[in-house]
Amino acid sequence: MPFLFTCPHCETKTQVDDQYSGKQGQCVSCGGEITLPRFASATKTKSKPARRDSKLISVLAATAVCSLILGSLLFAIIRFGGQTMATLSNSREQTTSMRNLEKIAAAMNAYAADHGTYPAPMTVNSNGTPLHSWRVLLLPYLGEEDLYDRINLRLPWDHAENAMVMQYSAPLVYQHPSSTNNGFGSGPAYFLITGTGTLFPPTGPLSPNDVTDDVTQTLLVVEGSPVTPPMSWAEPVDLPFSMMTGRLAGNPGSEPGGLLEGGVAAATVDGRGHFIRDEIAPADFLSLVTPTGGERLRDDTLD
């Protein structure tokens, strides 16, 4: 590689190849004796690309290691993070469903305070034809007075005059948090348990004062997913006690539940929401339904 050299005698600048580094001679311009300095050798200059190559290899190796680590983390997130997200989602839905049930239970107790008993599971006309679910009767106690006033209680829930009102005005408190219908045209998620031995026997609904069992361990309203789900929240459909075995995970559609992983949300007569796990003993669950059975349950039967 040539270097620029300035003669100390005539100050002439000359390009000198580095092979003459450190040698003596005469200036080509003035003929004066000169000694060339020691220039950086071509060998050293050529070694620089090697150092750059070494650095590049190090960078590539580090990148490969980082990619391997990130890949492992991504695999772990996909494998285990999905399970965690599903668990969190189920937990949020469980909490929201319990809050819905507590609102419904409060409305049921307010209705009972005004009318002397809980609402009947359904209203009927003079011929005994079912008209509306108890969910319609609760509307004024859930802040839905305007919706209640728009419903013709003398006509069935599915009559043309009521159908559009029912379909597009479904109260969110009756919808399950896992529902994707946003309340439009969807059926309810919460039901009464009806029949002999329940709060809602064929002879008519009981009142809170009729409950002789522990009100903190007597079910009032539960989450459910019937085999033939109601078409509307106003349709008079509930869960018959006579079809229940108490095995929450073993009799889909006939037992409460079917909407949350691992159990069922419910509310008791005292208005509290609970999550009943599928593992509950069948006899214990059936005892929770009866308001006057006299069964003795452990304090921790409900959470």
Are 126 and 193 members of one domain?
Answer: yes
Mean pLDDT within 250-266: 86
Residue 7 pLDDT grade (very low, low, confident, very high; cuts 50, 70, 90)? confident
Question: Structurally, how many domains does the chain consist of?
Answer: 2
How much is the mean pLDDT over the chain? 84
Cα 178 to the chain's mean position, in Å? 8
Mean pLDDT within 35-60: 58
Q: Does residue 100 lie within any of the structural domains?
A: yes
Residue 67 pLDDT grade (very low, low, confident, very high; cuts 50, 70, 90)? confident
Mean pLDDT within 268-294: 96
Q: Does residue 121 lie within any of the structural domains?
A: yes
Mean pLDDT within 261-270: 95
The pLDDT of residue 170 is above 60: yes
Residue 70 pLDDT grade (very low, low, confident, very high; cuts 50, 70, 90)? confident
Which residues, in sequence order, are bridge partners of residue 169?
A: none
Are 28 and 101 members of one domain?
Answer: no
Q: Does residue 83 lie within any of the structural domains?
A: no
Are 265 and 188 members of one domain?
Answer: yes
Are 131 and 201 members of one domain?
Answer: yes
Q: Does residue 175 lie within any of the structural domains?
A: yes
> Phi/psi of residue 118, each to 5°?
-65, 160
**CA geometry: angle 168, 171, 173, nearest 5 deg:** 150
The pLDDT of residue 262 is above 70: yes
Are 280 and 172 members of one domain?
Answer: yes
Are 99 and 195 members of one domain?
Answer: yes
116 within 8 A of 204, measured Cβ to Cβ: no
Which residue range(s) make up the domain with 27? 2-35
DSSP type of residue 77? I
Per-residue model confidence as pLDDT tens digits over 198-231: 999 999 999 999 999 999 999 999 999 887 888 8
Please report the pLDDT score of residue 44 as a whole number: 46
**298 exposed, middle or buried (CB, 10 Å; 0-12, 13-18, 19+)?**
exposed
260 within 8 A of 101, measured Cβ to Cβ: no
27 within 8 A of 9, measured Cβ to Cβ: yes
Please report the pLDDT score of residue 47 as a whole number: 46
Query: What is d(CA 220, CA 192) in angstroms, rounded to the nearest whole number?
Result: 7
163 within 8 A of 235, measured Cβ to Cβ: no
Are 30 and 118 members of one domain?
Answer: no
Please report, in angstroms and rounded to a whole number, the separation of the first and last CA atoms in the chain. Answer: 87
Q: Does residue 142 lie within any of the structural domains?
A: yes
Residues above pLDDT 90, as percent of the chain: 55
Are 169 and 282 members of one domain?
Answer: yes
Query: In this structure, what token pair is assigned to residue 20?
Result: 């003459």
Q: Which residue has the higher pLDDT, 199 or 12?
A: 199
Q: Does residue 303 lie within any of the structural domains?
A: no
Q: What is residue 133's three-state secondary structure? A: strand
Are 210 and 285 members of one domain?
Answer: yes
**CA geometry: angle 198, 212, 109, nearest 5 deg:** 70
Q: Does residue 61 lie within any of the structural domains?
A: no
Are 119 and 214 members of one domain?
Answer: yes
Mean pLDDT within 267-290: 96
Q: Does residue 275 lie within any of the structural domains?
A: yes
The pLDDT of residue 124 is above 70: yes
Are 122 and 12 members of one domain?
Answer: no
User: Phi/psi class of residue 152: alpha, beta or left (left: φ > 0; alpha: ψ in -120 to 50)?
Assistant: beta
Cβ neighbour number for residue 226 with a 10 Å cutoff: 17
Please report the pLDDT score of residue 95 as a whole number: 95
Are 277 and 159 members of one domain?
Answer: yes
Query: What is d(CA 33, CA 72) in angstroms, rounded to the nearest whole number?
Result: 71
